[in-house]
Every structure is written in C-alpha cells, then in structure tokens.
Structure 1
Amino acid sequence: MHRVTVTLDDDLMNKLDAIIAARGYQNRSEAIRDLARIGIQQTTSEDNGENCVGAMVYTYDHSKRDLPRKLTQSFHNHHELSRATMHVHLDHDQCLEVTILDGKASEMQHFADHIFSERGVRYGRLVTIPATGDGHD
C-alpha cells in the first residue's frame, strides 16, 4: 500500500464524511479507495474495449408521438447488447424502463446516448461494471 496526502476543501470533505456515515465505511481510506475504483472503472472501461455488464435506466413520456415505436426499433437494432428489460408505469404518461446490457462499454454508452437523446426521454443513466473480477484488491 502507498500513503497519499490529499487536500480537500470543507464542502467536499463534508460530502465525503456523509457518504462514509451513510454507507458504513470504517474509515476515510476505505471510502476513498472505493470511490477511486469507481472513478477509474468509469473512465477506463469505455477506452479499453473491455466487456461489461450494465443497467440502463430511463424515464419517458409514452404519449410522445412515435416514441415507443422508436425505442422498440432501437432495441431491435441493438439486440446483441440487450438482455432483459423491466417496464414500469409511473403514472398516466410516464414510464420507467431498466434494461440489463452486456457488451463493450463503448457500445453500451453509444446505445444509451441514442436512447437518452430521443425526444420524450426525460431522464437517463447508464451504469457499467466489468464483467469479470470483483474490483477489490
């Protein structure tokens, strides 16, 4: 292990301490190691072409003209990435979908960007994790 000194402003330190308390970390070092792993994974998985699994979560207005058809067509065009989808009706107009993806991180991000940019999609987020390894040393 290496010892590293990092200077954080008060606001960032307060946010870090809140995460530590909420998630039950034993100390700041554990929390910072986990956050570093997450940051490294997010910045490198797209660049190195590694296989990942992911969850694409988004909400959309199903009453928007042609949106459900466009979304379905996009999924058919990317069938090699999509493994399963859960669809939830939030209210009369809003739907939530969660799709499990499997493939190269860059391809999943490209697909997610396409879905999220459709008119009527209100919120979207893609979370990816490496398909192998546990991420802990």
Structure 2
Amino acid sequence: MNEEQSTTGVIRFSVSLPPKLVKEFDEVWKEKGYDNRSRAAHDAFRNFISEHKWAFSLTEEVVGIIVVVYYLDKPSLLNRIVEVQHSFEGIISSTMHIHLTRNKCLEIVAVKGKAKDVRELGEKLSTLKGVKETKFAVTTP
C-alpha cells in the first residue's frame, strides 16, 4: 500500500473480541443510531485516540480517580495490583475496594500528582492480565 492510500482510503483488518463484548457493542451502536458497525467502531477508535492524546498534559498537576474493574480468577492479580500501587505511593491518596460479584471487584484509586505519573499508573494497572477495564476521571486542582 502506498502512502496516499493509507490516508485517503480505508483499511480492513480483523479484530478478535469476546462474543459478549460484540453483542454489547452492537446494541450500543444501534441505540445511538449508527448505520453500521464500522462507523461506530471508527468513532470509538477516534475517541480512544483522542482521550489518549488530550486527556492529560504531561507536566500538569492533576487530582482525580482511576477506576479499575478486575476479576479475581487470576491468582496473583491482587498482589500485582498492590505492587503497582506501592510503586506509585507518592501520587496515591487512598484506595477503595468494592466487591461487585463473587469474582469481580472494583478498585477506586484517588490520585494527586503530575499527569504523566497518573497516566503511567493507570496504564500499568490496565495492562495487568485479569483487569477488565480502567477509566480516569481527573481535573486540575
């Protein structure tokens, strides 16, 4: 593919997703009024990229929370979460652990520090195997 094609055309590629996630995505894009899954995925990708680029200024001081949903079926996950949190103890004000179901938990991590550090903490938590989802809610103090 030449460079012109990559900026003016579309590229088809395959994505492997769990059936439940596909079902939920299909329900949402239909409820929102999209004509097709591709257009909805396009907007989802664009939002994902936009959040990544513009959510934080690297040097800005921020306060907020990181919400982490994870499964307890990974034996060492809880220990790994605690290890990551301890490596960022300078920016973590407190944490709250909530049991959602017998094997699914939600962790709320209150943070205050440089945006790059808050982002790094969230990224490290989100890449742990067994973590389902990570969300940020931050603002400047």
TM range (shorter): 0.5 to 0.7
1:125 — aligned with what?
135
2:74 — aligned with what?
64
Q: Using the alignment, how far apart are the partners of 1:63 and 1:103 within structure 2?
A: 32
In the TM superposition, what is the alpha-carbon distance from 1:92 to its structure 2 partner? Answer: 0.8
TM-score after normalising by structure 1: 0.62
1:111 — aligned with what?
121
RMSD: 1.8
Q: Using the alignment, how far apart are the partners of 1:107 and 1:71 within structure 2?
A: 16
Alignment partner of 1:46: what SS? coil
Please say if 1:92 is aligned against 2:78: no
* 8 A Cα contact 1:46 1:106, kept in partner: yes
In the TM superposition, what is the alpha-carbon distance from 1:63 to its structure 2 partner? Answer: 2.4
Runs (5+) with no aligned partner, structure 1: 1-14, 16-38, 132-137
- Report the AA paired with residue 86 of structure 2: H
Please say if 1:50 is aligned against 2:60: yes
In the TM superposition, what is the alpha-carbon distance from 1:107 to its structure 2 partner? Answer: 0.9
Q: Using the alignment, how far apart are the partners of 1:44 and 1:126 within structure 2?
A: 9
Aligned length, in residue pairs = 91
* 8 A Cα contact 1:45 1:130, kept in partner: no
Provide runs of 4+ in structure 1 moved above 4 Å: none
TM-score after normalising by structure 2: 0.60
In the TM superposition, what is the alpha-carbon distance from 1:79 to its structure 2 partner? Answer: 0.3
In the TM superposition, what is the alpha-carbon distance from 1:51 to its structure 2 partner? Answer: 0.6
Deviations 1:83-117 (A, max 9, x none): 01111101110000111100001110011000011
Q: Using the alignment, how far apart are the partners of 1:102 and 1:81 within structure 2?
A: 5
- Report the AA paired with residue 102 of structure 1: K
- Report the AA paired with residue 124 of structure 2: H
- Report the AA paired with residue 56 of structure 1: I
